[in-house]
């Protein structure tokens, strides 16, 4: 049934393109920006500029998609992403680098809106499998993005960004031609501010979605602390792995996640239940980070990376699945946008925290990350409570 769902295939393509661009940018952005004379601190600001803009924009885009429809907001988001890649490729100075990353952050609502399309198009019992299918597309992008960057950057430093922009234009074209409008409740959303941070913060205490939002925020904070900052310094300075070998580790991580999200998430969540699968996945994610903290050999670290890739993919798939079932059908875009904002906030704080504690000891981000994920594990017992009635968060 899912294979025949045209909307799902288009959404999977959008997800793949999103991560393809991310996979292209991450390995080369540091070196590319160095050509413009940026210091390490300025590079950090360049990375953070995307997440800050994404944090503000995603709930706005999600809410607008509830009111005006998924399709137009998806098109705006995808076109903005394409534009950011082309600006990056032809940037004449540092100002345009920041402009490109900020534009990508402002229009980064394509993924939460895409998840809202899945919620619109599938029955509750089908969503774990559908989210797993789309999350698997993320891993395709994560596998091929760094490979594209590695092959093309030697030809021209701008070529990877041009390729990413062209692929994104194709995704926008397919969305325009083939994606139908899936929101059947347009115009039924309550009036209110598009971005209301105090109200957004209060959603952490909402009986429906509060625990899940808290887990999403803390989990991505831990992920950014341990992996975005902690991974490469640890492998390079403690395990003495070459940068090319690091790329192989990232590819392996993506392949494991792809297998997990394609073949395992739907089956296990159906057999064990979404809530049980979620709690188990959080527990073993924490275990894998603990193994990384204590590992001093490459084979042990690889085993921990495989465990992490397997269960991290479960967590990242089940969070939107749970949120989609904790709220009413009219607020799916708003919910997915809020979730993306909480994740962005975690991705802003995580590297800063990781950078600070790594000055004490290089492996410490893994230990702190494991502790934070264990907090998420205990909080997971409060998600999807059967005694709470589903209703609109706003």
90 three-class SS: coil
Residue 72 has pLDDT above 80, yes or no: yes
Per the model's pLDDT, the better-predicted residue between 331 and 143 turns out to be: 143
106 and 148 assigned to the same domain? yes
> Which pair of structure tokens corresponds to residue 292?
């990384």
Q: Is residue 6 part of a domain?
A: yes
Q: Give the separation between CA 349 and CA 345, rounded to whole angstroms.
A: 6
* CA contacts within 13 A on the Cβ side of 262: 13
* Token digits of residue 229: 């900052």
Same domain membership, residue 132 and residue 29: yes
In this structure, the answer to whether residues 218 and 111 fall within a common structural domain is: no
Q: Is residue 46 part of a domain?
A: yes
Whole-angstrom distance, CA of residue 100 vs CA of residue 93: 11
Distance of CA 74 to the CA centre of its chain: 16
Q: Are residues 130 and 206 in the same domain?
A: no
Tens digits of per-residue pLDDT, 94-153?
A: 999 999 999 998 887 777 787 788 877 777 777 777 777 777 777 778 788 877 877 787
Residues 6 or more apart whose Cβ sits within 8 Å of residue 199: 192, 193, 394
The answer to whether position 190 is within a domain reads: no
Q: Are residues 216 and 168 in the same domain?
A: no
For residues 133 and 204, state if they share a domain. Answer: no
180, 211, 234 — which closes off a domain?
Answer: 180
pLDDT tier, 172 (very low <50, low <70, confident <90, very high otherwise): confident
Whether residue 102 sits in one domain with residue 217:
no
Query: ∠291-339-331 over CA atoms, to 5°?
Result: 145
Together in a domain, 141 and 262: no
Q: Which domain holds residue 132?
A: 1-180
- Structural contact between residues 174 and 79, judged by C-beta atoms closer than 8 angstroms: no
Q: Which of 70-84, 217-231, 375-389 comes out lowest in average pLDDT?
A: 375-389
Residue 369 clears pLDDT 90, i.e. is over it:
yes
**Structure-model confidence comparison of residues 22 and 75, the more confident one:** 75
Residue 4 has pLDDT above 50, yes or no: no
CATH number where 235 lies: 1.20.1250.20
- Tell me if 311 is assigned to some domain: yes
Terminus-to-terminus CA distance in the chain, angstroms?
33
- 230/170 same-domain check: no
Q: Are residues 111 and 70 in the same domain?
A: yes
């Amino acid at each position: 049934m899912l294979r025949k769902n045209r909307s799902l295939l288009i959404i999977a393509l959008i997800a793949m393109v999103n991560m393809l661009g991310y996979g292209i940018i991450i390995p080369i952005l540091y070196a590319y920006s160095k050509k413009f004379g940026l210091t390490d601190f300025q590079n950090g600001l360049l990375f953070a500029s995307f997440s800050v803009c994404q944090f503000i924009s995603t709930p706005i885009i999600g809410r607008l998609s509830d009111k005006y429809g998924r399709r137009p907001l998806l098109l705006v988001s995808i076109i903005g992403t394409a534009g950011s890649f082309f600006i990056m490729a032809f940037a004449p100075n540092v100002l345009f680098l920041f402009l490109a990353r900020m534009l990508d952050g402002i229009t980064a609502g394509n993924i939460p809106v895409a998840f809202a399309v899945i919620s619109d198009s599938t029955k509750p019992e089908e969503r774990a499998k559908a989210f797993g299918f789309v999350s698997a597309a993320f891993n395709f992008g994560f596998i091929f993005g760094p490979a594209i960057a590695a092959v093309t950057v030697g030809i021209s430093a701008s070529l990877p960004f041009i390729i990413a922009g062209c692929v994104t234009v194709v995704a926008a074209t397919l969305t325009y031609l083939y994606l139908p409008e899936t929101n059947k409740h347009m115009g039924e959303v309550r009036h209110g501010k598009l971005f209301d941070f105090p109200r957004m913060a209060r959603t952490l205490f909402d009986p429906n979605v509060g625990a899940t939002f808290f887990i999403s925020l803390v989990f991505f904070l831990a992920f950014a602390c341990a992996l975005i900052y902690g991974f490469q310094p640890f492998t390079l300075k403690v395990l003495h792995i070459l940068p090319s070998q690091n790329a192989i580790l990232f590819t392996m991580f993506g392949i494991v996640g792809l297998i997990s999200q394609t073949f395992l998430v739907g089956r296990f969540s159906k057999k064990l239940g979404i809530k049980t699968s979620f709690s188990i996945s959080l527990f073993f994610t924490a275990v894998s980070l603990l193994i990384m903290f204590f590992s001093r050999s490459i084979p042990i670290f690889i085993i921990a990376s495989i465990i992490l890739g397997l269960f991290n993919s479960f967590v990242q798939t089940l969070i939107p699945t749970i949120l989609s079932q904790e709220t009413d059908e009219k607020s799916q875009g708003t919910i997915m946008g809020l979730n993306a904002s909480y994740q962005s906030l975690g991705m802003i704080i995580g590297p800063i925290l990781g950078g600070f504690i790594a000055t004490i000891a290089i492996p410490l981000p893994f230990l702190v990350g494991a502790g934070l994920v264990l907090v998420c594990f205990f909080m997971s017992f409060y998600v999807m409570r059967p005694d709470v009635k589903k209703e609109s968060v706003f």
